Structure formats: C-alpha cells, structure tokens
A and B are shown apart, each in its own frame.
Chain A
C-alpha cells in the first residue's frame, strides 16, 4: 500500500542549474560515463542530495544529463523535510527523485519508513510505496 505526503514544502524549480560537488570525478574516455565519488552533494535551489557515489546517465546523443544515480547512504533534504535511503535516482528534466532501499522520511516530529519513495520536486508531492510504516514520537 502507499501513502502520499507533502515533501519539501515549497515548489522547487527543477530547471534551475544543478551544482554537483565531490571529492573526485572520473570520466571514462572509452564510453564517456562520468562518476562522482566521495562526499557527493547535488544541489539545486533548496534541494540537497548527498551520497557517496553519483553516476551520470546521459540521454541518447549525450547532449543532456538524463538521470543522476546516487548510491551509498543517500540523504535528500528539501526545505524542512529530510529523507534517507540506500539509493536515489534523480531525473532532472522531470524533477522526479525515486528513492529506494530502507527509505526513512522525517517530517518534523514524525517519521515514515517504506521500501520506496517517489518525490516530485516540482509539485512537492511524495508517494511512498512498499511496507509503509509511521513512527509517531510521543510528545514528552
């Protein structure tokens, strides 16, 4: 079953420039694939996506980035909300981030976990799928 939640609070404009910073970037000259490694942070507007490794996937004629595949302790922060997962795929053109693998979403005092979460940064809507559980902290 799924649960839809609001994520990130404000609208996020995903046509804004994306800034990636990392310890290293390796560009394979034979198949032109690019991999960022080491404390990788993808920043766009309010959104920050951190991971240990991000692989860049191009579109057909290699003129645009189609997808960023982040793996290794991924954290997605946008506005007040934060989500953690093992992996996240960010499709820049559509502005959709698909997080998978032990997703933990913390919003203020409560937290939700699930197998997968799809976040549309443009609309701020998030859809959680697969064993969604809500953990309510008691207010002390």
Chain B
C-alpha cells in the first residue's frame, strides 16, 4: 500500500470522531449562549401617559359591532376613542371607520378623520374628509356622514362627489338605506344629481 493509502483510512477514522463532536459543540452554543429575555423589564408606557389614559378613559383601537333587523352587519373601529367628559354616552374618536356588510352581499366602508359614537342614540357621526367605498365600485367623498347603528341608514349632511362604474358624479346629498319597494339596500343620491359618463374612459377615473 502506498504511503497515501495508509493515511487515508486513518484520516477517515479521525473524521468520524471529530465531526460529530464539532456538531455537538455547535448545537450546544445554540442553548448556552442565547440571549436571556428579562421578563421584569417595564413595558414601554411612560408614567404620564398612564395617568392621562386613566383620566380620559382613552381606549386604543376600540371597535363596536351591531346588526340591523334586515341582517346588515355594522362594525365601527377607530385608532383611539375617549369618553366625552360632559356626556357619558358619547365617545370622541380618531380615524373613525365603519363597515357595513349588507345582507344582499355587497359591503360599504366609511372612513373619516374624526368621529363621534353615541351609544344612547345608537348613532355615529364621521366628520372631516369622509370617504365612502362600496364593493359595487363606488367611491364617494363628502364632509360629514351620520350613520345609525341599529338601522341601515347612512346620510351625508352636505354635497358629495363620487366616481363609480357610471362615471364621475356629484349630488346635493347621499343616503344609504333599504329601498322600501324592493327591500334591497340602495345608495340614493338626491338634490340635483349630475353625472358625466365618458364612453372612452367609462370608469370616470381622472
């Protein structure tokens, strides 16, 4: 056997021992040297903020849900809400958004910068840059919206602009309600409706 042949089996023998030990070593570092998490560390709330939160009874990411007899499911969420000091039933909310899953299958979402939820009146107001988007392809902007929480009734307090499969349109007032004759939910625009449909650009997207 040449010199090289003799070394070869001895090398394999050594490797057979050295490699498993190296593997063992590597594995153990996984547990021994890992960072220990100190559970006693304080959670990231400053003392001042805790007092303010208690004083104002501020709630972060509150949500509210309700449904109508017709079977529409109304849910409200906000980034934060706090109780109105003067009126115990009224919450003032930031970034209030509402979603209505209509019993007919479509869904409509409303978002606004601020809002108020009045549990005794079962009503919510979305104030400031309100945007309505419906699964039927409508996008409507207005200043303020009022929605009831136990009946399907959302109304805009002022004029609206919007785009939809029909094109771009404007109206003096918008209401989401259930149509008494057909029983279906409908978006009703009133007070001088004006719509522009462009055959070349039907979606009315600018």
Contacts and interface: CB of A to CB of B under 8 A. Distances in A.
Interface of A: 14-32, 34, 36, 56, 58, 62-65, 92-93
Interface in B79-119: 102, 104-106, 108
Nearest 9 pairs between A and B by C-beta?
A30-B104, A30-B184, A29-B185, A17-B198, A25-B189, A25-B193, A27-B187, A29-B106, A18-B197
Nearest to B190: A24
A34 B199 contact: no
Contacts of B202: 63-65
Contact of B192 (A23, A27, A32): A23
B102 A63 contact: no
Contacts of A26: 179, 186-189
B92 to A, nearest CB: 30
Interface residues of B, number: 37
Contacts, number: 101
A28 B166 CA distance: 13
Given A21-B192, A26-B186, A29-B184, 19 more contacts: A14-B199, A17-B198, A18-B196, A18-B199, A20-B193, A24-B189, A25-B195, A26-B179, A27-B136, A27-B188, A28-B179, A29-B106, A30-B105, A31-B184, A32-B137, A58-B165, A62-B137, A64-B199, A64-B202
A32 B194 CA distance: 18
A22 B202 CA distance: 19
B138 A25 contact: no
Contact of A65 (B104, B166, B187): B166
